[in-house]
């Protein structure tokens, strides 16, 4: 149960004074459904209203708070003309100007002969001073409230600064004094104040420095959120370790035979990662390991070698991919080896229907299929394994945690290996995959040549077509990636079709098209023609981002490269340079470039190191956007900026581990306060796990 002291914070927004159903809906879209979501909605800048000159000294263009006498109202004869209110002090005159004014309201707010405090931007019109639509009007008794530093919050349609400030002030009245959950020595060392005091300072900043992510008050709140995240992950991890697994050790025969079939030797990183996976599988605890590496670092072979351990010991393995293209790509990579090893395999996707599907289900249930490759179709209720021991989940961030668990529940004490070809920055590994052990593939296979990357403006499209023509004469295969138009496959597909028509008019049947709206068989046909047939140019949307392996492809053209994220550009570029020939990547961009886009293209030209690129991408874009937080059930931080608060992560991880070691059930005085922290940041699931043991 959530502690009673937090009930007021988790009330719905309409419980706040002045927040009706319509406003509540808008505020919910902006920051969330509860009062607590408003208190996490921090200001990003401020308006200083403390400057209070005399009228004659008020500088134009500056926000000033003036004390004036109301001299005269001049209503407009026409609604389109402004309503004017003449005011003065002992040094001069100023006119207040209102458009679409309500006379009754203004005569009540600004009664002739009385003194009022007005605050807003002073302007000059002709020779005279004026203040159009003052931000605030008040009596002399309200001077203290008006002559302050006013926080400026992120806004949305239908929510003005005045409205959100009022709602947040109401929410802040509900902030309780809570038992301190941080270690006293850390508070002293960092010079941090209490949680509630830090929150008050963030919402009532004195100057610009209080708005910075590294200000002590923001750091304190960020640390609280990181600590809640690390504790929740540590509890999940501890519970995973408690779940009994089973020891899976093969005799190594199939694996050794596979190594002799490979046309290359494994890299040091592959050997190291495999030994970590072997150790996990041999242990009596369940494996939950993340394998992440750069594009082309050979994770599929590592997964296959792990799957062979399960087969050698008489069990089954499943390899699951997010798209049909990638699943079939895995099958094409793996199946030729498995046939030589005498290991039975099959594929199951949403496209497999009727008798064909039924046969696969029967073979799986009987154990005749030893390794199954598939998509989301493997989650379906009617799929049964004889003895699933290892589940490999590729491109982990495309699946939610519950999907991972569903596949793991298809067997007894299933070991889980999740993989991604997107190198993940260290901070995201800690905050997002902290419940897993981690292996890194940070080496490329020997003999890979560097990819030359060039950025060109769109105006040089004809030059690029000329370069493609020359490359075709040298027997190259070429990817031509069309721009991300918006979050719409329809429009992306239209852009790809347009470029396909253009290139087809030049190069004829040597051009094929693939995009997300095509049916499976059409996609497969286009991909196969490109990989093995007479098609040499593949025009595509980002469906080719992961997994497609055509070693002969040596040229990659990406249109409107400025619209893509850095990691995505790196992923796309990773589709070339997979053979032993030199490769070129051409990034076409629309000028002028934003500073951010310029940085992305510069980094891409400078390096092929996916781990460096991932760190830079995090710095430029932030964590949630990087991995697509909305789609994948990753934690969405309210206050934490992972690029700015990375140094707090290590401290919080050690703090969480030590705390759970000394107080596993969180029953000490600090432990009880920590439980409140977990509820405050909605990591309630950790409390449930604590209770369930």
pLDDT at 632: 38
List the one residue out of 290, 175, 181, 184 whose CA is nearest residue 228. Answer: 181
pLDDT tens, 144-169?
989 999 999 999 888 999 899 999 99
CATH 3.40.1280.10 fits 253-441, yes or no: no
DSSP 409: T
Half-sphere exposure (Cβ direction) of 356: Cα atoms closer than 13 Å: 8
- Give the mean pLDDT of the chain: 88
The tokens describing 185, both together, are 């020595």
Q: Superfamily assignment of 451-607 in CATH?
A: P-loop containing nucleotide triphosphate hydrolases (3.40.50.300)
Mean pLDDT, residues 639-650 taken together: 88
Sketch the domain layout of the chain as residue ranges: 4-46+154-211, 50-147, 253-441, 451-607
pLDDT tens, 439-497?
999 888 777 788 999 999 999 999 999 999 999 998 899 999 987 655 555 555 677 88
Q: Name the more confident of 334 and 488.
A: 334
List the one residue out of 537, 543, 577, 535 whose CA is nearest residue 557. Answer: 537
How far apart, in whole angstroms, are the C-alpha atoms of residue 262 and residue 117? 81
Q: Name the more confident of 547 and 565.
A: 565
Measured from the Cβ of residue 552, the count of other Cβ atoms closer than 10 Å reads 15
pLDDT at 629: 37
CATH code given to domain 50-147: 2.40.50.140
Q: Most confidently modeled of 57-66, 346-355, 644-653?
A: 57-66
DSSP 10: G
How far apart, in whole angstroms, are the C-alpha atoms of residue 247 and residue 249? 6
pLDDT tens, 263-310?
889 999 999 999 999 999 999 888 989 999 887 788 899 999 999 999
Of the chain, the end-to-end C-alpha distance in Å amounts to 16
On whether the CB atoms of residues 203 and 166 are closer than 8 A, the answer is no
How far apart, in whole angstroms, are the C-alpha atoms of residue 83 and residue 98? 5
DSSP 440: E
pLDDT at 196: 95
Can you give the length of the chain in residues?
Answer: 693
pLDDT at 634: 44
Query: Using CA of residue 320, residue 325, residue 326, residue 328, what is the dihedral sign?
Result: positive
On whether the CB atoms of residues 179 and 164 are closer than 8 A, the answer is no
pLDDT at 236: 81
pLDDT at 669: 95
pLDDT at 138: 95
Measured from the Cβ of residue 215, the count of other Cβ atoms closer than 10 Å reads 18
DSSP 333: H
CA-based angle 467:473:479, to the nearest 5? 55
How far apart, in whole angstroms, are the C-alpha atoms of residue 407 and residue 410? 5
pLDDT of residue 15 exceeding 80, the answer is yes
88: CB partners within 8 A, 6+ apart: 55, 68, 69, 71, 94
CATH topology identical between 253-441 and 451-607: yes
pLDDT tens, 403-439?
666 767 787 889 999 998 778 888 888 887 777 889 9
Q: How confident is the model at residue 222 (pLDDT cuts 50, 70, 90)?
A: very high
Residue whose token pair is 């030359």: 452
Q: Name the more confident of 693 and 538.
A: 538
User: Cα 262 to chain center, whole Å?
Assistant: 37
């Amino acid at each position: 149960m959530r502690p009673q002291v937090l009930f007021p914070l988790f009330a719905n927004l309409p419980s706040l004074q002045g927040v009706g159903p319509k406003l509540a809906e808008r505020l919910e879209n902006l920051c969330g459904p509860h009062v607590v979501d408003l208190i996490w909605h921090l200001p990003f800048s401020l308006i200083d209203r403390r400057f209070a000159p005399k009228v004659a000294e008020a500088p134009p263009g500056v926000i000033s708070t003036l004390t004036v006498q109301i001299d005269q109202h001049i209503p407009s004869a026409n609604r389109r003309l402004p309503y004017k209110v003449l005011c003065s002090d002992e040094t001069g005159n100023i006119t207040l100007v209102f458009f679409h004014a309500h006379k009754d309201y203004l005569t009540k707010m600004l009664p002739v002969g009385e003194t009022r405090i007005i605050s807003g931007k002073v302007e000059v019109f002709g020779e005279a001073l004026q203040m159009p639509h003052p931000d605030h009007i008040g009596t002399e008794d309200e001077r203290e409230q008006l002559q302050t530093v006013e926080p400026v919050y992120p806004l949305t349609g239908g929510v003005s600064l005045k409205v959100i400030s009022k709602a947040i002030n109401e929410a802040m009245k509900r902030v309780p004094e809570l038992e301190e959950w941080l270690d006293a020595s850390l508070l002293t060392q960092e010079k941090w104040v209490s949680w509630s005091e830090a929150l008050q300072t963030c919402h009532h900043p004195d100057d610009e420095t209080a708005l910075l992510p590294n200000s002590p008050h923001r750091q304190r709140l960020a640390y609280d959120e990181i600590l809640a995240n690390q504790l929740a992950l540590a509890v999940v991890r501890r519970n995973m370790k408690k779940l009994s697994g089973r020891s899976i050790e093969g005799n190594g025969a199939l694996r050794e035979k596979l190594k002799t079939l490979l046309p290359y030797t494994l890299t040091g990183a592959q050997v190291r990662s495999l030994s970590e996976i072997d150790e996990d599988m041999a242990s009596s605890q369940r494996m939950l390991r993340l394998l992440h590496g750069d594009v082309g670092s050979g994770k599929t072979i590592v997964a296959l070698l792990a799957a062979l351990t399960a087969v050698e010991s008489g069990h089954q393995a499943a390899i699951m991919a997010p798209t049909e293209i990638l699943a079939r790509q895995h099958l094409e990579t793996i199946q030729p080896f498995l046939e030589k090893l005498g290991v039975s395999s099959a594929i199951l996707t949403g496209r497999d229907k009727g008798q064909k599907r039924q046969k696969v289900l029967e073979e799986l249930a009987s154990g005749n299929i030893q390794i199954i490759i598939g998509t989301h179709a493997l989650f379906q209720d009617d799929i049964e394994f004889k003895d699933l021991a290892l589940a490999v989940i590729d491109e982990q961030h495309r699946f939610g945690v519950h999907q991972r668990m569903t596949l793991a529940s298809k067997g007894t004490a299933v070991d889980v290996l999740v993989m991604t070809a997107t190198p993940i920055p260290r901070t995201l590994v800690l905050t997002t995959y902290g419940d897993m052990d981690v292996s890194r593939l940070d080496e490329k296979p020997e003999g890979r040549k560097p990819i030359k990357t060039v950025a060109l403006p769109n105006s040089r499209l004809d030059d690029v077509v000329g370069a493609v023509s020359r490359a075709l004469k040298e027997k190259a295969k070429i990817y031509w990636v069309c721009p991300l138009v918006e979050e719409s496959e329809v429009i992306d597909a239209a852009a790809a079709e347009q470029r396909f028509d253009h290139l087809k008019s030049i190069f004829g049947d040597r051009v094929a098209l693939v995009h997300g709206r095509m049916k499976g068989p059409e996609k497969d046909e286009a991909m196969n023609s490109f990989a093995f047939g007479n098609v040499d140019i593949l025009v595509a949307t980002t469906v080719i981002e992961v997994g497609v392996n055509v070693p002969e492809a040596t040229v990659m053209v990406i249109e409107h490269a400025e619209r893509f994220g850095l990691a995505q550009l790196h992923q796309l570029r990773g589709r070339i340079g997979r053979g032993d020939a030199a490769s070129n990547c051409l990034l076409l961009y629309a000028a002028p470039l934003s500073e951010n886009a310029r940085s992305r293209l510069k980094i891409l030209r400078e390096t092929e190191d996916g781990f460096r690129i991932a760190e830079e991408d995090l710095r430029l874009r932030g964590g949630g956007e990087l991995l697509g937080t909305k789609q994948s059930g990753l934690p969405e931080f309210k206050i934490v900026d992972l690029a700015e608060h990375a140094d707090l992560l290590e401290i919080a991880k050690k703090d969480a581990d030590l705390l759970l070691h000394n107080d596993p059930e969180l029953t000490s005085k600090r432990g009880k306060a920590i439980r409140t922290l977990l509820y405050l940041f909605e990591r309630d699931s950790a409390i449930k796990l604590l209770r369930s043991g």
